[in-house]
A and B are shown apart, each in its own frame.
Chain A
Amino acid sequence: MGEFILQAIFEVALDPWAIALCIIGVIIGTILGALPGISSTMALAVLMPFTFGMSIENAMVFLLAVFASSVYGGSISAILINIPGTPGSIVTQLDGYPMARKGRAGEALTYALIASTVGGLLGWIALVLVAPLIASAALSFQSPEYAAITVFGLAMLAYVSPGSTFLAVIAGVVGVLIATVGFDATTDVSRFTFGQPALQAGLGIVPAAVGIFGLAEVFKSIESGGERVEAVKKLGRIFPPWAEAKKLWPMQLRGSMIGAFVGAVPAAGSAIAVTVSYAIEKRLSRNPERFGQGSPEGVVAPESANTAAVGGSLIPMITLGIPGDTMTAVLIGALLIHGLRPGPMMFTQNMDFVAAIYVALAMAIVFTLLVCLIGNKYFARILSMPRAVLLSGVTLLCIIGSYAVRNSMFDVLVMTAFGVLGYAMNRINIPTAPVIFGLVLGPILETNIRRTMIVYNDWGVFLERPITLTILILSVVAVLFPLIQDARNKKRQPAQATSSAHPTDQS
């Protein structure tokens, strides 16, 4: 492993073009992450097409730079305008904005940046240490285990999705169904093409992801006019007092561990990591009443968890081929476009690429620190970018991105259709991420189920193998537990017109 990392350092970290791509990715990612309405997932989805002409290693350098920097970028708007730029910054605003209102905006941004760097590096260490262990265990998995793992990935997403678990399950099933459009890989028979040649290659993940995560957000943004935001303009001193900063290290370390662990749980994502981290720090604090009033602890804890979750979420992605969150779902789409399917086999057949991912992530974290230390005061001005330019530019990027996959205008129509679907689902509180997870995991699930039956010719094998059975039981629990809990909670509440138990109620 060490020799591969050394090789990757020479080929990636010391390559001027890779360094330039990393810096460009950090700048673009930070800007997009800072802009409210553009999440890290959307940033990755619309920028992914830029990588089509690159080598897979450079593509990862660029995308991981965007990934890591956009995660931090969300804290810029959270601190300066009290609007989280990304879902992972929803907690940072609780203390970051009050700090900014007290004239400590610069310090808050720097605290967030340092915490983000510490979290990112600890998440990276978790990735480097844990991924090989999981991969080596996964190498002994066979098709029943892989099928069970994909079911677990879908079940976990249903469990952690905001809102109703029932609706998330439906969305996942729809995604799995959509993934069956086109030629069946095993028998070459076409499914649901209705005689249309354009559908024979299926509905690609890239147009779907760009539509659901990109275009749907544009639709939401243009519903009504823009809103005037009151931004804290004066940053004040940039570097916080050392006496205060050195007391925050334990919070950063704890937040990083929480972020790396939660991020490694398939589908969990950074929003859960930051919430848990904040709650724990508040509980452990000697002055919990300071949280929410501009306490630096309330900034560093969630920010370190937020970026640590980046490394954590890459663990299931590269070891099992299961997205750790929606962002890694988009990364899997990028890998597939470049002809690489993530999973444990990468650790035997593409170890050099795995090492390149490690080096690329480290570069992303380091360059985010360097670029943002210098550029924070300039990035802050980005918040006043005209909405008109931003939305029209992002829409064009969505068009080009979906066209560029197969040089087909049909994919632009597919992207538009998924944009409409994503927008409609958002309007009626149905989570959209499960659709993409279903698109990514559906083919893996089908391949492994059919392979299992061809080899074993016995459905009971899913219940006879202990690992498979355990994973399936956990999957069932992940789906049923919130439904049962929600029904119990509703029964305890006084009977009112709007509080009766319903599968679509938020749990």
Chain B
Amino acid sequence: MLQAPILNPRGCAVDTKNGNRLWAHAVSGAVLTVLAVVLWMHLMSDPALTRPRGRDPGPAFQPAISLVLMGVFGLFLAVASFWRMRREGGASGEGFAVQARAELKRLALPAVMVLSLVLFVLLVPFVGFLLASIVFTTGWAVFLALQDYAMVGRRGVIVGAIGALLSAGFLYVMFRLVIGIPL
């Protein structure tokens, strides 16, 4: 659906998708900067890492350099992105809110998969790897087939479930019995 263009204070049409990207970069830069500071403090507080070792720069050397670079670049990224957002005015208004809601909607399923993976790790000690794998793969296969129901129909859901079951069993047999990984 076409929407009226969002105009910045100078009257130029603004790319709200770009505005969201700038927001994301600004936040990423800020996160990197904060992380760099926190990790730097942790690094410097450990005497085992920072004590002089003669010619050897020591175990704190590479982390320190990396943290400095990460902090500086992160700060630059955050400031540059914020500055550009203010100039272009692309990160505010109705268009931005619509884009942000659409983005959150897209993130829902990946977030659910992350949770299911954590659940998988927690369940394995109780139910065993094979059962956990079957539940995980079959559950997701059925869900994804239902997502595509208009295209694949009921047959697709059944095929998906059976296919997932077989692939879980096949992979378990391959790794457990053939390769010898203690699953």
Q: Does A associate with B in a complex?
A: yes
Residues of A within 8 A of B (CB): 49-50, 52-53, 166-167, 169-170, 173-174, 176-177, 180, 184, 186-187, 189, 191-192, 194, 218-220, 222-226, 228, 386-389, 391-393, 395-397, 399-400, 403-404, 407, 409, 412-413, 416, 419-420, 423, 427-430, 442, 445-446, 449-450, 453-454, 457, 496-498, 500, 502-504
For B55-66 the 0/1 string (1 means CB < 8 A from A) is 111111111001
CB-CB nearest in chain B for A181: B63
Q: How far apart are B47's CB and chain A's nearest CB, in angstroms?
A: 10
Q: Is the CB of A174 within 8 A of B70?
A: yes
- Which residue of B has the minimal Cβ distance to A228? B151
Residue of B nearest to A385 (CB): B163
CB-based closest 4 A-B pairs: A389-B163, A388-B160, A184-B59, A388-B144
Contact pick for B21, options A388, A428, A449, CB 8 Å: A428
A173-B58 in contact given A392-B141, A412-B121, A428-B28 (Cβ < 8 Å):
no
Q: Cβ of A166: which chain B residues have Cβ within 8 Å of it?
A: 73, 77
B175 touches A497 (CB 8 A): no
A496/B12 in contact, CB under 8 A = yes
Contact between B109 and A192, CB atoms less than 8 A apart: no
Q: Which listed residue (B28, B69, B140, B147) contacts A430, Cβ 8 A? A: B28
Which B140-160 residues have a C-beta within 8 angstroms of A? 140-145, 147-148, 151-152, 156-157, 159-160
CB-CB < 8 A to B81: which residues of A? 502, 504
**A386 touching B163 by the CB < 8 A rule?**
yes
Q: Name the A residues within 8 Å of B156 (CB-CB).
A: 386, 388
Closest A residue to B180 by beta carbon equals A53
User: Are B90 and A176 within 8 A (Cβ)?
Assistant: no
Q: Are A497 and B14 in contact (CB under 8 A)?
A: yes
Cross-chain pairs A/B with CB under 8 angstroms, 25 sampled: A180-B63, A187-B58, A189-B59, A191-B60, A219-B110, A222-B113, A224-B106, A225-B148, A225-B151, A228-B151, A388-B160, A388-B164, A392-B160, A393-B163, A409-B121, A412-B117, A413-B121, A419-B114, A423-B110, A427-B24, A429-B21, A450-B61, A454-B56, A497-B89, A502-B81
Bound together, the chains give a CA A219 to CA B117 distance in angstroms of: 12
A174 to B33, CA, bound (A): 12
- Check B80 for interface membership: any CB of A closer than 8 A: yes
Majority SS of interface residues in chain B? helix
Alpha-carbon distance between A218 and B142 when the two chains are bound, in angstroms: 15
Q: Kindly supply a per-residue 1/0 record for chain B positions 88-130, scoring 1 wherever the CB is within 8 Å of any chain A CB and 0 otherwise.
A: 1110000000000000001101100110011011001000000
Rounded to whole angstroms, the CA-CA distance of A503 and B57 in the bound complex is 32
Closest to B10 in A: A497
Give Cα distance in the complex from A392 to B146, angstroms: 13
B52 CB contacts on chain A under 8 angstroms: none
CA distance A306 to B3 in the complex (A): 42
With A and B bound together, what is the CA distance between A465 and B13 in angstroms? 54
- Whether A399 lies near B120 (C-beta < 8 A) is yes
Number of B residues, CB within 8 Å of A = 85
Find the residue from B56, B136, B181 having the highest chain A CB count within 10 A. Answer: B181
Hey, which chain A residues are within 8 Å of B66, CB to CB? 173, 176-177, 180
CA distance A468 to B107 in the complex (A): 46
**Chain A residues with CB under 8 A of B145:** 386, 388
B30 on the A face (CB < 8 A): no
Chain A residues in 8 Å Cβ range of B168? 393, 396
Contacts of A419 in B (CB 8 A): 114
Contact A407 B181 (CB under 8 A): yes
Q: How far is the CA of A256 from the CA of B129 in the complex (A)?
A: 46
Interface-central residue, B21, B61, B117, by most chain A CB under 10 Å: B117
Which residues in A have their C-beta under 8 angstroms from that of B160?
386, 388-389, 392
The docked-state distance in angstroms from the alpha carbon of A177 to that of B121 is 26
Nearest chain A CB to B40 CB, angstrom units: 11
| Min CB gap A462→B, angstroms | 13
A389 adjacent to B63 (CB under 8 Å): no
- Contact A226:B147 (CB < 8 A) given known A187-B53, A409-B124: yes
How far, in whole Å, are A122 and B169 apart by their CA atoms in the complex? 41
